Amino acid sequence: MPQPSETDVQQIFDRIAPVYDRFNDLLSLGQHRIWKKMALRWCNPKQGEKWLDLCCGSGDMTALLAKQVAPDGQAIGVDFSKELLAIAAEKAKKYLPSIQKSITWQQGNVLYLPFTDNTFDGATLSYGLRNVANIPQCLSEIHRVLKDGASAAILDFHRPSDRLMQGFQNFYLDRVVVPLADRFAMTDEYAYIAPSLARFPIGSEQVKLSKAAGFTQATHYTIANGMMGILVLQK
């Protein structure tokens, strides 16, 4: 399958927005929430800081960030899907006032971030790097908008090195993801996962790309038996 264009990916996420949260919970048995908290622990946002959550989707990670930087800090959730941002904003109405005050939603493209250089104390990106059209450019943009010494955590799928786990991952995609997508009438929309994973650089390659983008430190941690990974960066 050829790599979809930016417009194709944007339209995919606009279409899956209504089932996005439920689908993620079912696919990961709720584990994605734990993995996001793990990513945050590695980059350690602090009260009063200004953080960026890229490809924020329905805003779960943005809310976690806001809780850590509130009440005086700021968490900006950026996504190119206006439908997902609308869901994120609706969910935010149920948050505590101090959390609501610390969150801003903004539609934008991670390849051309609408922020000035050296603006943020840190950034997160969950399950989005794999889908961007130009990974080196995305990493360079993250580097550009971060302050010197700032950190970032990027959570995404990973191809395990163990052959048994490789077989399990393929089985999971074919026998769990596809039938579940079919149940939600989203078969075509979720067909992108397997080919996007096949194209996605493994951890060691992500580290090299990150250092080429200018990050002074880059470490990739595999979790979930190698099927997920967290790339931790420092400018």
Quote the pLDDT of residue 87: 95
The values of phi and psi at residue 161, to 5°, are: -80, -25
CA dist 112 → 51, 57, 93, 117 (Å): 17, 17, 29, 12
Are residues 192 and 206 in contact, defined by beta-carbon separation less than 8 angstroms?
A: no
Architecture of domain 6-234: 3-Layer(aba) Sandwich (3.40)
Residue 159 tokens read as 């191809």
What confidence category does residue 193 fall into, taking pLDDT thresholds of 50, 70 and 90? Answer: confident
> Is pLDDT above 90 for 105?
yes
Q: Which range among 137-146, 186-195, 206-215 shows the weakest confidence by mean pLDDT?
A: 186-195
> Is pLDDT above 80 for 192?
no
- pLDDT-above-90 percentage for the chain: 65
Q: Can you give the C-alpha Rg of the chain in angstroms?
A: 17
Are residues 87 and 58 in contact, defined by beta-carbon separation less than 8 angstroms?
A: yes
Are residues 107 and 82 in contact, defined by beta-carbon separation less than 8 angstroms?
A: yes
DSSP state of 130: G
Q: What is the residue whose two structure tokens read 């969950």?
A: 126
> Is pLDDT above 90 for 206?
yes
What confidence category does residue 8 fall into, taking pLDDT thresholds of 50, 70 and 90? Answer: low
DSSP state of 173: I
- For the chain, domain boundaries: 6-234
> Is pLDDT above 70 for 189?
no
Query: Closest by alpha carbon to 52, among 210, 3, 61, 23?
Result: 61
pLDDT tens-place string over residues 122-159: 999 999 999 899 999 999 999 999 999 999 999 998 98
* Other residues' Cβ atoms within 10 Å of the Cβ of residue 212: 12
Quote the pLDDT of residue 203: 95
C-alpha 33/C-alpha 146 separation (Å) is: 25
DSSP letters, 140-166, are HHHHHHEEEEEEEEEEEE---SSHHHH
H or E stretch at 49: none
Helix-then-strand count for the chain, H and E: 12, 7
pLDDT tens-place string over residues 61-77: 999 999 999 999 999 99
DSSP state of 186: -
> Is pLDDT above 70 for 2?
no
pLDDT tens-place string over residues 11-23: 777 787 777 777 7
